[in-house]
Amino acid sequence: MRQAGVSNNSTVAAVLAKDLAGFGARRCFGLLGTANFKISHALVEAGVELISARHEGNAASMADAYAKATGELTLVSVHSGPGLTNAITGIGEAAKSRTPLLVLAGDVPTGNVKSNFYMNQTELVRSVGAVSERIYTPRSARGDLLRAVTCAMHDRQTVVLSLPLDVQDAKIDATNAPLELGPVPGRLQPNPEDIRTLADAIVRAKRPLVPKDRVVASDSGHFCGWVPRYLRVHSPKASCLSHSFQSVGLGLASAIGLAVANPGKLAVLGAGDGGFLMSIADLETAIRLGLRMCILIYNDSSYAAEVHFFRRQGYSIDIVQFPETDFATIARGYGARASTVRSTADLEPVRAWVNEGAAGVFVIDAKINPDLEADWHAEHFP
């Protein structure tokens, strides 16, 4: 793949942004600060769509889901220091899933170890299994970028590319021959015999896979087995279960990434009350982007995974139970439609929304029995 030619004497940030667009990057999920403003601005100038998240962890998880669904070179842009530390759980999830992803992390000017924003980005990034790369000098920057993109796309790695501000701002003669990214390897193909055997089994199944024109994401928690059990999808790419790092709170961002990757489709999210509260800032993003989304909150006002496990062992479980949260009111405050559901009759507003075409975001605050333990949970955590 060749990228468009670049003009003489541009900043490194501008040249790298054009290189990234030339490599096929179409979308960047991020949250801006001084250290990543210029590279993000340059990406927009180069025609890459910037999708602003409200928390860097969510930005990384949106990109993770988007990359899994599309296979595209997908970008994340974060500020130095706390911008990167906020993103690290999403980066860890992506790294453990071997998601090809390129995280552009602004960094302090080279050697500026007294900056409040200084930290050892490499040590942090490697500790969660991601690959750390850096643009070292203005002269090496394009080669450094190519190495990072090649590692992400060819080796299926989550790569964090540190971008020191002084190197981003430096001027380079950008009339050199454009860099070339080698062809991205195709997906590994399963054995056709195995596919036929699986297809036969599905056709014979009591509950055959019913193709549905929707995508499904799930958060983690005690509730999470109900989502794949009852919400069927037509292909693996139509779902995102971000459980590789076993983190609570990634579901909403996964649903947003899936929805962006599948324009116009209804994204359904299953989340617990705890995980949803952890990520709720990006409900604003789902609404701002005009996504079609149905969010089903299994609301037991508790960290049920801990409640069931530790109660069995004789502990008091007060420290993992909470007062009731009124998600419907909160969601309306963000601009979503919502209903509180205590019986099947309370699902009527959901039916009405679906009959009207299911536009925008609908939040279902489903109050569930906190004493009920799911079969898979009892089995896995005896």
Ligand X SMILES: Cc1ncc(C[n+]2csc(CCOP(=O)(O)OP(=O)(O)O)c2C)c(N)n1
CA distance 374 to 379: 9
- CA–CA distance, 333 with 84 (Å, rounded to integer): 29
Nearer to ligand X among residue 31 and residue 250 (C-beta)? 250
- Binding to Mg ion by residue 304, rule CB under 5 A? yes
Mark the segment that binds Mg ion (CB under 5 A) among 125-133, 152-160, 272-280, 340-348. Answer: 272-280
CB of 108 to Mg ion, least distance (A): 40
Stretch that binds ligand X, among 65-73, 79-87, 268-276, 309-317 (CB under 6 A): 268-276
Using an 8 Å Cβ cutoff, are 280 and 269 in contact?
Answer: no
User: Least distance (Å) from Mg ion to the CB of residue 254?
Assistant: 18
Helix pair 251-261, 56-70: axis angle to 10 deg: 40
* Amino acid of residue 350: V
> Are residues 6 and 175 in contact, defined by beta-carbon separation less than 8 angstroms?
yes
Site string for ligand X, 224-263 (x = CB under 6 A): ----------------------xxxx--------------
Q: Provide, rounded to whole angstroms, the least separation between the CB of residue 377 and Mg ion.
A: 12
Residue 90 binds to ligand X (criterion: CB under 6 A): no
User: Binding pattern to ligand X, positions 191-220, x when CB under 6 A?
Assistant: ----------------------------xx
Q: CA 209 to CA 220: how far, in whole Å? A: 23
Q: How many CB atoms lie within 10 A of CB 312?
A: 13
Closest C-alpha to 172, from 135, 139, 136, 134: 139
Q: Quick one: which H or E segment has residue 370?
A: none
User: Is 91 an interacting residue with respect to ligand X (CB under 6 A)?
Assistant: no
Q: Are 271 and 241 in contact (CB under 8 A)?
A: no
Span near ligand X by CB under 6 A; candidates 112-120, 203-211, 286-294, 299-307: 299-307
With contacts defined by CB under 6 A, how many residues of the chain interact with ligand X? 20
| From the list Mg ion, ligand X, none, partner contacted by residue 249 (C-beta under 5 to 8 A by kind) | ligand X
Least distance to Mg ion, CB of residue 371, Å: 12
Binding residue (CB under 6 A) for ligand X from 92, 129, 138, 274: 274
- For position 303 contacting ligand X by CB under 6 A, the verdict is yes
Q: Is 373 in the site for ligand X (CB under 6 A)?
A: no
Nearer to Mg ion, 300 or 365 (CB): 300
Contact at 8 Å (CB) between 275 and 220?
A: yes
Report what 247 binds from Mg ion, ligand X, none; CB cut-off 5-8 Å by kind.
ligand X
Query: For residues 336 and 363, is the Cβ–Cβ distance under 8 A?
Result: yes
With binding defined as CB under 6 A, does residue 365 bind ligand X? Answer: no
Cβ 138 to ligand X shortest distance, Å: 39
Q: How far is the CB of 220 from ligand X (least distance, A)?
A: 6
377 touches, from ligand X, Mg ion, none (C-beta below 5 to 8 Å by class): none
CB 97: neighbour CB atoms within 10 A?
21
The identity of residue 299, as a single letter, is N
Alpha helices (H) in the chain, listed in sequence order: 12-22, 34-45, 56-70, 82-96, 121-127, 141-154, 165-169, 192-204, 226-230, 251-261, 273-279, 283-288, 304-312, 327-334, 348-355, 375-380
**One residue of 272, 309, 350, 366 binding ligand X per CB under 6 A:** 272
219 counts as binding Mg ion under rule CB under 5 A: no
Both tokens of 115, joined, read 């900056």
Give the gyration radius of the chain's Cα atoms: 22
| Binding of residue 302 to ligand X (CB under 6 A) | yes
If one asks whether residue 61 binds ligand X (CB under 6 A), the answer comes out as no
Q: Would you tell me which residues interact with ligand X (CB under 6 A)?
A: 219-223, 246-249, 272-275, 298, 300, 302-306
